Structures are given as C-alpha cells and as structure tokens.
Amino acid sequence: MISIENVTKKYVNKTALKNVNMQFEKGKVTGIVGENGSGKSTTLKLMAGLIYPTSGKVLIDDKQARRLSSNKVAYMSELESFYSYFTVKDAIDYFASQFTDFERGQAEEIVSFMNLELNQKVKHLSKGNRGRLKIAITLARRAPYILLDEPFSGLDPMVRNSIVKGLIKFIDLEKQTLIVTTHEILEIEPILDDAIVIKGGEILARESVEDIRENGQSVVEWMERKYREERRK
C-alpha cells in the first residue's frame, strides 16, 4: 500500500499540497484528476521519492518514500527521459541495466504494440511517439506500483484509445497498482476503479467510478460538479 498521511508540500512561493491524506491499495487503477497546477504531479513525485514532504509522511509498504523506493515504484514523468542519440533499442538496454525488475521481452512486445521500431532514433520520434516509448519502458517493469504522469500528453485520440488497451494488457493487476494523472479523462475512465479530484493542492473528493456511474454521471461530470461546489464555498 502507498499511504500519504497529513502531507503538506511547500515550494518557495507556493503551497502545492495542503494536509493531504490518501491511500492506494494493490490491484486498483486510480485516476487523479484536476486542473493544471492542482497538485497532481507533485503527488506522484512524492510517491516516487523524488521530492519530500514539507510535513507529513509518504509511505511505500510502511517505509518512507525516498529515491531508493524506485525498486518498488515505476514512475513516468511528463519530462523527457532519453538521450536524443539513443535508438529505441538503446533506451531499452539502458533501462534494463538500471532496474532488476525490467523485462526486456515485455519491453520489446510493448514497443511493437506501440508501432515503434527498435532502430528508430529518439531524436527522430514525434512527441507522441516519444510518449509511447516512455510508456513502454515504464510498463516493462514488474514494480508493484506504476505511476504515470499525463501519459496521453501529445497523443491523438485514436492513439490514446489503443494505449488504454495496452495499459490493461501489460499490467498485472493481481500484483500491481496503477495510478494515473491525466486531463484525458474520457479515454481512461473505462479502466478506472477509483477517481480522486484535486484542486489547489486539496482533495475535494474520492469515489469509486462504479458509484459515480450509478449516480448517472461520468467522471468528467463528477469532477466538474465538485469544482462548482468548491467555488460556491
């Protein structure tokens, strides 16, 4: 389990998260949704151990999240993560050398699924294809926790749909947990178990997607309603 307990994260001129509490159990797909600057990416970086809370605790299986947590957490950032002179194969080789849970065969299978070629140079890939490569590299790990920060950025709608199918195909939800931040809620909604809406560094609500649908709403409609309710306060 990942547990975020009374976490506040402050930067020099901004409070990114304010006394946040969340838990993520194994075997679930959770979407963290909200407007730009709401604290979504900060939340994932804290879980990945890349940054530390100003106050509170972030625990990965009851141990404080830190950089060595990467042995349990596979984190895909919005930022570029490959040398431009790499080929797709070079990227696979590099990450295979960095993580003992990296499965080269699965990486090559996902790359093929993503319609990438092993001899392609990263510098010649479009933004969307670099995004596909990042997803492939991340999903090739057998880490218990998979964190994807805006995985659909720069991808056209048809590609997003195929990648959502890939998320389910290449993740073992009996052993892994998937946590996704995204603006592209419509594409990801069919595979979500839970949704968390965040605004201004605070959690407005968390509900199961099944309950949201039973109330006659989509996740987008539910998020918009929570934002309206917050504005009225």
* Domain housing 201: 2-11+25-79+144-232
Tens-place pLDDT, residues 54-90: 999 999 988 888 887 788 999 998 777 777 789 999 9
Could you tell me if residue 200 is inside a domain? yes
Could you tell me if residue 117 is inside a domain? no
Query: Among 108, 149, 105, which residue's Cα sits nearest to residue 131?
Result: 149
Q: Sort 85 into a burial class: Cβ within 10 Å, 0-12 / 13-18 / 19+.
A: exposed
Could you tell me if residue 7 is inside a domain? yes
Could you tell me if residue 34 is inside a domain? yes
Cα 31 to Cα 34, 39, 77, 88, 193, distances in angstroms: 10, 13, 15, 28, 8
The label of the residue with tokens 């194994």 reads 26
Total number of domains in the chain: 1
Could you tell me if residue 29 is inside a domain? yes
Could you tell me if residue 164 is inside a domain? yes
Least confident among 9-13, 125-129, 165-169: 165-169
User: Which band of pLDDT confidence, cut at 50, 70 and 90, is reported for residue 207?
Assistant: very high
Question: Strands across the sheet with 15-24, in order?
Answer: 15-24, 2-10, 55-60, 63-64
Backbone angle region of 180, left / alpha / beta, with phi > 0 → left and psi within -120 to 50 → alpha: beta
Could you tell me if residue 105 is inside a domain? no
Task: Kindly report the CATH number assigned to the domain that includes residue 228.
Answer: 3.40.50.300
Q: Sort 148 into a burial class: Cβ within 10 Å, 0-12 / 13-18 / 19+.
A: buried
